[in-house]
């Protein structure tokens, strides 16, 4: 191009102006700072509730091992490639207006090298990945395996323990140190069930059943969330896994199997129970033991107050939060009730809300 008359000399000088160089060195400095900041944050606090690098169960550990194996390769490749880029930019930079680089075409050695080396590397990583995939997809078998059906809803989770005739929401209770086999599906759009410390992710797809095995080493509370964008409140679709000691799990099962006790006559709770039917709550929510209360659109409320959170495990279950919720649910959590996605504002009065909360509190 240099001897070509079609490019006016002034144009050619234009893209060589020095300020661009100062700007790029500034950008480089900023990028380096961001990188250092990220690295510092990543290494700092290990006590993060959804840290997949802190596995607390066999499958999560298997996945973590795969990470341990591939991450050093990734870091090596990153620094090798970026190092070469920086080196080449520096080594072959333009020093004057007439030092055009020597033009070459093809280099069999280099091309073979950068084809074969990555292929070998990917083959090694691929073998370990496939082994891991088969390993975590093996179903848990045996009489001690707990089976739970998981259904994603916009925007909460339903857990059904068919063998025990229990349905609950947002809090998955399991016995610690015992295999659990989940059958995961969805009633509306695609969600993804993800309890990072206990297992990987599995998509919840309508009309299809996917499987995940789950096991917690010891009793505890493990956080998780929906990991597939599923609409307006995707970010508010969390979950909790509660792992119990065996005796505690048996107690939990027994408690959940009880029907809701009728509220004492003339009490505030009884007024709430009446409102629950009158306002049409029964069309969306189940309360076992209450006639007509068998809706499956919203969470089963039979044992609502045995849970510590509500509305997709987003809010602490306190009277204050529940009051705020009943005043106007979509104001507290973005939802589209007109599309059947989430709970509508029922236009309840403060007195009605007080009665309903009194009733909910009896549902333990
Ligand atoms: Cu459900 Cu994202």
Dist CA 234 CA 249 (whole Å)? 30
Q: How far is the CA of 226 from the centre of ligand 1 (A)?
A: 4
Residue 152 alpha carbon, nearest atom of ligand 1: 1
Residue 189 alpha carbon, nearest atom of ligand 1: 1
Nearest CA to ligand 1 atom 1: 191
- pLDDT score at 253: 97
pTM of structure: 0.83
Pocket of ligand 1 (CB under 6 A): 152, 155, 191, 226, 228-230, 234, 237
Contact partners, residue 25, CB within 8 Å, separation at least 6: none
Residue 190 alpha carbon, nearest atom of ligand 1: 1
Q: How far is the CA of 157 from the centre of ligand 1 (A)?
A: 9
Domains delineated in the chain: 146-257 (2.60.40.420), 268-360 (2.60.40.420)
Q: How far is the CA of 29 from the centre of ligand 1 (A)?
A: 38
How high is the mean pLDDT in each 10-residue block of the chain (364 residues)? 46 48 74 80 72 94 95 95 95 83 88 94 95 94 94 97 96 97 97 97 97 96 97 96 97 95 92 94 94 93 96 95 96 93 95 96 94
- pLDDT score at 32: 85
Q: How far apart are the first and last CA of the chain?
A: 81
Contact partners, residue 228, CB within 8 Å, separation at least 6: 190, 191, 192, 203, 204, 234
b or e along 148-157 (b: 16 or more beta carbons within 10 Å of the residue's beta carbon)? bebbbbbbbb
Residue 228 alpha carbon, nearest atom of ligand 1: 2
Q: How far is the CA of 220 from the centre of ligand 1 (A)?
A: 24
Residue 229 alpha carbon, nearest atom of ligand 1: 2
Q: How far is the CA of 236 from the centre of ligand 1 (A)?
A: 8
Residue 231 alpha carbon, nearest atom of ligand 1: 2
Q: How far is the CA of 134 from the centre of ligand 1 (A)?
A: 26
Q: How far is the CA of 197 from the centre of ligand 1 (A)?
A: 19
277-283, long-range: CB < 8 A, 24+ apart: 279/346, 279/348, 279/352
Backbone CA torsion sign across 299, 301, 302, 308 = positive
- pLDDT score at 93: 86
Structure tokens at 321: 């939060």
Q: How far is the CA of 192 from the centre of ligand 1 (A)?
A: 6
Residue 235 alpha carbon, nearest atom of ligand 1: 2
């Amino acid at each position: 191009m240099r001897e070509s008359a079609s490019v006016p000399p002034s144009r050619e000088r234009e893209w060589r102006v020095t300020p661009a160089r100062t700007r790029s060195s500034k950008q480089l400095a900023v990028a380096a700072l961001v990188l250092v900041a990220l690295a510092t944050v990543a290494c700092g606090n290990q006590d993060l509730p959804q840290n997949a690098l802190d596995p607390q169960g066999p499958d999560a550990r298997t996945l973590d091992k795969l990470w341990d194996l591939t991450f050093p390769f990734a870091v090596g490749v990153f620094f090798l490639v970026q190092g070469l880029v920086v080196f080449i930019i520096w080594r072959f930079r333009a020093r004057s207006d007439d030092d055009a680089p020597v033009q070459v075409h093809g280099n069999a050695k280099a091309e073979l090298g950068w084809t074969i080396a990555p292929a070998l590397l990917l083959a090694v990583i691929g073998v370990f990945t496939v082994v891991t995939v088969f390993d975590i997809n093996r179903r848990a078998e045996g009489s001690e395996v707990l089976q739970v059906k998981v259904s994603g809803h916009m925007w909460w989770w339903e857990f059904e323990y068919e063998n025990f005739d229990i349905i609950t929401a947002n809090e998955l209770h399991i016995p610690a140190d015992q295999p659990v086999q989940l059958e995961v599906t969805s009633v509306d759009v695609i969600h993804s069930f993800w309890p990072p410390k206990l297992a990987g992710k599995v998509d919840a797809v309508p009309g299809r059943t996917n499987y995940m095995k789950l096991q917690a080493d010891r009793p505890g509370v493990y956080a998780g969330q929906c990991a597939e964008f599923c609409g307006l409140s995707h970010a508010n679709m969390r979950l909790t896994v509660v792992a119990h000691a065996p005796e505690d799990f048996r107690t939990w099962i027994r408690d959940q199997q009880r029907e809701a006790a009728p509220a004492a006559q003339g009490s505030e709770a009884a007024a709430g129970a009446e409102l629950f039917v009158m306002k049409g709550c029964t069309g969306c929510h189940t309360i076992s033991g209450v006639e007509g209360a068998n809706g499956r659109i919203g969470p089963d409320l039979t044992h609502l107050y045995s849970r510590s959170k509500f509305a997709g495990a987003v809010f602490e279950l306190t009277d204050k939060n529940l009051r705020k919720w009943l005043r106007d649910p979509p104001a507290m959590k973005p939802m589209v009730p007109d599309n059947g996605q989430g709970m509508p504002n029922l236009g309840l009065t403060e007195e009605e809300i007080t009665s309903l909360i009194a009733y909910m509190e009896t549902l333990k």
